[in-house]
């Protein structure tokens, strides 16, 4: 009887160990990432109320989710996240909430994102407007941006054909390549149809400040600018233009015509949907091999990631409306087919130094603007 009891106890122990081994194996088996269980985090410097930069990103995320059939519960957003420790807090909270992929939309979020990405190699992190991911040594990070200078070139054509004073103004946020590349593209577009045009640029040194953007716009108008564009997140430049008869605005990020219908003539716009869709779909298909995801993603006019939108009702009030449409359409097709390059030489600075030689073309790296030169005809007002 005692021997039988020992045998039974041994069998129980064997079955228990087998069961434990089976349970441990089930725990270690990763759950496949699918459209049904993926969780997406997104961090924004503003919210949809800016009707500009963050609005365009949030709209694209919603489009991506709708196109892929994701539930609202699979998206977790963090809004009005400043470019300091608040970014780190927001990103960590998204990791802790179980997000498989996390997007950040502002330049100053990148350092915090990379620091946290190094701690969580199983989570994928994607950053708009930055440049550090390719050199970070991390497999779980990417940058994305697009050739917005192409759309700005088209809006510059509008400005060059619209101005009566041959004096343009540009309200811009930061003294970064992203901003300088953009306003250079805008000016070169204007110059392509109006060889007499000049442009003043003023920095706000912040991405979003409604009152400051309005003040800078006022200052540019006082200097003689009758068409103003912007690289700033609010609609203040457009609404300031609307206060003055004969002064017109060209918006950025989204269609701003509703905020200033008598002044906003056109807009350089983003559709970030292709980028968000690419990263989510590629993550789902990579089976954990993050090297299959592009470290740098960039879109252009051809892909539809950047474009121009007219305020058709206002444009129709101008005698040269059809000429403007034709000039823009022709340039757009030429950029798409490669016969027009935005940063084609010869380009000079205000001292006559050669920036791009005749016959040469400066090409922006994918997802990382790097043009920082001030071309002849542009004055930076301090």
Instruction: Evaluate whether residue 304 is within a structural domain.
Output: no
Number of domains in the chain: 2
201 in the same domain as 58: no
Pairing of strands 354-356, 347-348: antiparallel
Q: Over the stretch 202-259, which tens digit does the pLDDT of each residue have?
A: 999 999 999 999 999 999 999 999 999 999 999 999 999 999 999 999 999 999 999 9
CA distance to 51, 356, 362, per residue, from 359 (Å) = 40, 8, 10
User: Lowest-confidence range among 7-21, 70-84, 103-117?
Assistant: 7-21
User: 143 has which bridge partners?
Assistant: 127, 296
350 in the same domain as 265: yes
183 in the same domain as 155: yes
353 in the same domain as 266: yes
What is the Cα–Cα distance from 153 to 133, expressed in whole angstroms? 28
343 in the same domain as 280: no
Q: What is the pLDDT of residue 21?
A: 47
Instruction: Evaluate whether residue 233 is within a structural domain.
Output: yes
Q: What is the pLDDT of residue 121?
A: 98
φ and ψ of 183, to 5 deg = -75, -25
Whether the predicted pLDDT of 32 surpasses 80? yes
Q: What is the pLDDT of residue 158?
A: 98
Residues 105, 109, 114: CA angle, nearest 5 degrees: 110
- For the segment 343-352, the average pLDDT, to the nearest whole number, is 98
Instruction: Evaluate whether residue 16 is within a structural domain.
Output: no
Whether the predicted pLDDT of 63 surpasses 60? yes
Determine the angle formed by the axes of helices 321-337 and 148-162, rounding to 10 degrees. Answer: 150
Instruction: Evaluate whether residue 262 is within a structural domain.
Output: yes
Q: Which helix (H) or strand (E) holds 169?
A: strand 167-172
Confidence of residue 29 (pLDDT cuts 50, 70, 90): low
What is the Cα–Cα distance from 126 to 102, expressed in whole angstroms? 6
- For the segment 312-327, the average pLDDT, to the nearest whole number, is 98
Instruction: Evaluate whether residue 337 is within a structural domain.
Output: yes
Instruction: Evaluate whether residue 369 is within a structural domain.
Output: yes
315 upstream amide cis, omega within 30 of 0 = no
What is the Cα–Cα distance from 283 to 66, expressed in whole angstroms? 17
**Mean pLDDT, the chain, as a whole number?**
92
Residues 10, 13, 19: CA angle, nearest 5 degrees: 145
- For the segment 137-146, the average pLDDT, to the nearest whole number, is 97
User: Lowest-confidence range among 48-52, 180-184, 310-314?
Assistant: 48-52
Whether the predicted pLDDT of 10 surpasses 70? no
167 in the same domain as 264: yes
Whether the predicted pLDDT of 130 surpasses 50? yes
Q: To 10 degrees, the CA torsion angle through 206, 210, 212, 214?
A: 130
Here the CATH number for the domain that contains residue 344 is 3.40.50.2300
357 in the same domain as 212: yes
Q: Over the stretch 256-300, which tens digit does the pLDDT of each residue have?
A: 999 999 999 999 999 999 999 999 999 999 999 999 999 999 999
- Produce one character per residue of 152-189: b if its CB has 16 or more CB atoms within 10 Å, e if not: bbbbbbbbbbbbeebbbbbbbbbebbbbbbbbbbbbbb
φ and ψ of 106, to 5 deg = -120, 145
- Produce one character per residue of 255-277: b if its CB has 16 or more CB atoms within 10 Å, e if not: ebbebbebbbbbbbbbbbbbbbb
326 in the same domain as 184: yes
User: Lowest-confidence range among 12-21, 83-92, 286-295?
Assistant: 12-21
Give the residue from 117, 114, 104 showing the smallest Cα distance to 45.
Answer: 104
Instruction: Evaluate whether residue 77 is within a structural domain.
Output: yes
C-beta separation of 151 from 188 below 8 A: no
Q: What is the DSSP letter of 31?
A: P
Residues 349, 355, 358: CA angle, nearest 5 degrees: 115
Whether the predicted pLDDT of 19 surpasses 50? no
Instruction: Evaluate whether residue 109 is within a structural domain.
Output: yes
262 in the same domain as 163: yes
What is the Cα–Cα distance from 68 to 320, expressed in whole angstroms? 43
106 in the same domain as 195: no
Q: What is the pLDDT of residue 365?
A: 85
360 in the same domain as 218: yes
242 in the same domain as 368: yes
Q: Decide which of 14 and 230 is more confident.
A: 230
- For the segment 142-170, the average pLDDT, to the nearest whole number, is 98
| Domain coverage including residue 277 | 40-146+272-299
């Amino acid at each position: 009887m005692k021997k039988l009891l020992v045998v039974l106890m041994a069998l129980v122990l064997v079955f228990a160990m087998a069961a434990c081994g089976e349970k441990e194996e089930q725990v270690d088996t990763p759950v496949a990432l699918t459209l049904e269980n993926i969780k997406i985090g997104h961090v924004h410097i503003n919210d949809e109320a800016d009707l500009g930069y963050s609005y365009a990103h949030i709209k694209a995320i919603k489009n991506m989710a709708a196109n892929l059939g994701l539930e609202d519960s699979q998206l977790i957003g963090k809004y009005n996240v400043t470019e300091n420790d608040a970014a780190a807090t927001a990103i960590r909270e998204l990791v802790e909430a179980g997000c498989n992929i996390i997007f950040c939309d502002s330049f100053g979020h990148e350092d915090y994102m990379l620091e946290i990405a190094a701690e969580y190699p199983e989570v994928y992190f994607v950053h708009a407007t930055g440049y550090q991911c390719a050199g970070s040594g991390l497999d779980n990070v990417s940058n994305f941006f697009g050739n917005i200078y192409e759309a700005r070139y088209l809006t510059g054509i509008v400005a060059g054909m619209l101005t009566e004073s041959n004096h343009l103004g540009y309200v811009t946020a930061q003294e970064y390549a992203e901003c300088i590349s953009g306003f250079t593209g805008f000016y070169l577009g204007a110059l392509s149809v109006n060889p007499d045009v000049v442009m003043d640029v003023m920095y706000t040194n912040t991405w979003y400040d409604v009152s400051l953007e309005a003040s800078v716009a006022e200052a540019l108008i006082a200097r003689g600018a009758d068409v103003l564009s912007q690289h700033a997140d609010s609609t203040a430049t457009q609404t300031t233009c609307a206060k003055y008869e004969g002064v017109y605005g060209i918006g950025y990020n989204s269609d701003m015509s509703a905020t200033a219908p008598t002044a906003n003539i056109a807009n350089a716009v983003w559709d970030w949907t292709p980028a968000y869709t690419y990263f989510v779909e590629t993550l789902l298909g990579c089976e954990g091999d993050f090297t299959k995801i592009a470290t740098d993603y960039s879109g252009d006019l051809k892909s539809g990631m950047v474009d121009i939108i007219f305020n058709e009702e206002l444009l129709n009030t101008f005698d040269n409306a059809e000429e403007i449409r034709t000039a823009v359409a022709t340039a757009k097709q030429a950029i798409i087919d490669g016969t027009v390059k935005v940063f084609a030489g010869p380009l000079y600075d205000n001292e006559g130094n050669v920036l791009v030689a005749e016959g040469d073309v400066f090409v922006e790296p994918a997802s990382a603007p790097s043009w920082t030169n001030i071309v002849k005809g542009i004055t930076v007002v301090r």
